[in-house]
Amino acid sequence: MRIDKLHTIDSTNSYLKRISKEEDAQEDIVVWALEQTAGRGQMGTTWSAESGKNLTFSVFRKVKRITISEQFYALMAASLAVKDVLSKLLIKNVRVKWPNDILTDNDKICGILIESVIKRGKLDAMILGVGLNVNQTEWKDTPRATSIKSRTGIHFELEEILSMLLKQFHHYVDLLLKGQFETIKNDYEQHLFKKDKPATFIASDGTQFVGIIKGVSETGKLILLQEDEVVNEYDLKEIQLLY
């Protein structure tokens, strides 16, 4: 695996998309930046992190054995890998806030962004972006943010955490390649934030409603039990969990 360590870049995901296309990359590539000037989150949001104190990196990997309809399993696998590493570091109450945020209690400690590379109508590769709060302890205009250091009081070497994450990612990639999708999905659902508890959501038209998270569909939609025992599925553009 090739690892490119950079001081400053706009976005590790954007950078990887450019170089993987220019180089027609066939091997795994990791791009790790100490600072991102335009870090990206889900749905066009930004990811802000203090320079040199957190892990911001992206991984390029060929995934020809996974179809477009199965790509959400990669996001579930990545979420579980981060959860596993945080648990090993003694972070308590780690949960996945659908679809791609990692929380400890009610505070966000990590965000994940996966982008697909489609060629000739088929899934050719995926770019996984991770923003993990490691040693930062203060934030401006970012409510409910936390870090590994904030939770443990321990200052960690970023490279050590990166190595742990990459090792765990490989474990889940092996599960994906073996077709163990149901195992991944069950584990992901077991760690969903607010699962089986009443929660308030806001729809795209601004209306609020209460639902109970029951799981996710194979394509990544959130399955909610609502009034009158009606079960509905929603994608990311349709609802937002309020907490």
User: pLDDT per residue over 136-187, tens digit each?
Assistant: 999 887 778 999 999 999 999 999 999 999 999 999 999 998 999 999 999 9
Average pLDDT (31-55) is 73
Task: Kindly state whether residues 106 and 6 are assigned to the same domain.
Answer: yes
Number of domains in the chain: 2
Q: What is the pLDDT of residue 159?
A: 95
Question: What CATH number is associated with residue 221?
Answer: 2.30.30.100
Residue 214 tokens read as 């029951």
Average pLDDT (209-231) is 95
Question: What is the domain range of residue 113?
Answer: 2-190
Measured in whole angstroms, how far is the alpha carbon of residue 230 from the centre of its chain? Answer: 29
Q: What is the pLDDT of residue 48?
A: 59
Task: Kindly state whether residues 158 and 213 are assigned to the same domain.
Answer: no
Task: Kindly state whether residues 162 and 235 are assigned to the same domain.
Answer: no
The C-alpha atoms of residue 170 and residue 193 are separated, in whole angstroms, by: 24
**Cβ neighbours for 196, distance < 8 A, ≥ 6 positions apart:** 212, 213, 214
Q: What is the pLDDT of residue 39?
A: 64
Task: Kindly state whether residues 6 and 96 are assigned to the same domain.
Answer: yes
Q: With a cut of 70, say whether residue 200 has pLDDT above it.
A: yes
DSSP 195: B
Task: Kindly state whether residues 89 and 209 are assigned to the same domain.
Answer: no
pLDDT in tens, 62-114: 887 888 889 999 999 999 999 999 999 999 999 999 999 999 999 999 999 99
Question: What CATH number is associated with residue 170?
Answer: 3.30.930.10
Task: Kindly state whether residues 162 and 206 are assigned to the same domain.
Answer: no
Max intra-chain CA distance, the chain = 55
**Cβ neighbours for 91, distance < 8 A, ≥ 6 positions apart:** 104, 109, 148, 151, 152
Task: Kindly state whether residues 181 and 221 are assigned to the same domain.
Answer: no
Query: Average per-residue pLDDT in the chain?
Result: 91
Query: Which pTM was predicted?
Result: 0.91
Residue 23 tokens read as 């180089």
Task: Kindly state whether residues 73 and 158 are assigned to the same domain.
Answer: yes
Task: Kindly state whether residues 70 and 109 are assigned to the same domain.
Answer: yes
The residue that leads in pLDDT, 196 or 120, is 196
Q: With a cut of 50, say whether residue 43 has pLDDT above it.
A: no
Task: Kindly state whether residues 235 and 169 are assigned to the same domain.
Answer: no
Task: Kindly state whether residues 60 and 177 are assigned to the same domain.
Answer: yes
Residue 209 tokens read as 């409603």
Helices (H), 38-180: 72-88, 148-152, 158-177
